[in-house]
Amino acid sequence: MLKLCHTLSILALACLTLATAPAWAANVDGKAGIGFEETLTSVGLRQTLMGTTDLPDVRPSGLAARYWIGNVGLEAIVGASVKFGQMLGHSGFVALGAHYAAFRAQDVNLTIGARGIFAWANTNQDDHDLGSRYGFAVEVPIRVEYFFTSAFAIAGAVGPVLHFPSPWRTDRTGTAVAVRNPLTTNVGSWDLSLTRGEFSGGLGFTYYFL
């Protein structure tokens, strides 16, 4: 009982500290920042923990840079990986987007944006090049950014995602074959969904240094 009271006292003190902390104006005009961002296409935590082998080659989450001009924020997200062992290969993505701050509160901004993603994956097994695969996606993230201080903010997003079919490729026999989209594992099909990322897709943080 004493331990429970001690824990409740700590929680009450933490809540009081947050309540009395000064509010930070969420004005990012002219600011540049760097951080981490999970796109809406990224595979969610639940899918990863299930251990399924049919995971996408590219889960587009990585280093994010952004710059705000008035209510418009420009964004770039990049990431890459290299495989070693029997399955050699490399993969990566580039995402470019823009966000509009539709609503601005004292320490929270609500933005609506558009983001395009280009991804690639290459695999080489036992000295045989299995070729490269490419994927494209368009996202409409509705993003809430909360500022703990004037320089540091976390964000969460939700929104529709449209994935385009991976381009057809001609194999060594001269036959045109459909290839797996590195973003979705689909072959030659369109994919329209609402937040494929499920639990973890759409999370991120930014440190504003200007």
Question: Whole-model pTM?
Answer: 0.76
Comparing 141-145, 155-159, 177-181, 205-209, which segment has the lowest mean pLDDT? 177-181
Strand partners for 186: none
Q: Quick one: which of 40, 38, 41 has its CA closest to 184?
A: 41
Going from N- to C-terminal start, the domains of the chain cover: 29-208
Instruction: Write out pLDDT tens, residues 112-161.
Output: 999 999 998 877 655 555 567 888 999 999 999 999 988 999 999 988 88
Q: Which fold has domain 29-208?
A: Porin (2.40.160)
Q: What angle do CA 89, 90, 93 make, to 5 degrees?
A: 155
Between 150 and 46, residue with greater pLDDT = 150
Question: What is the structure's pLDDT at 46?
Answer: 43
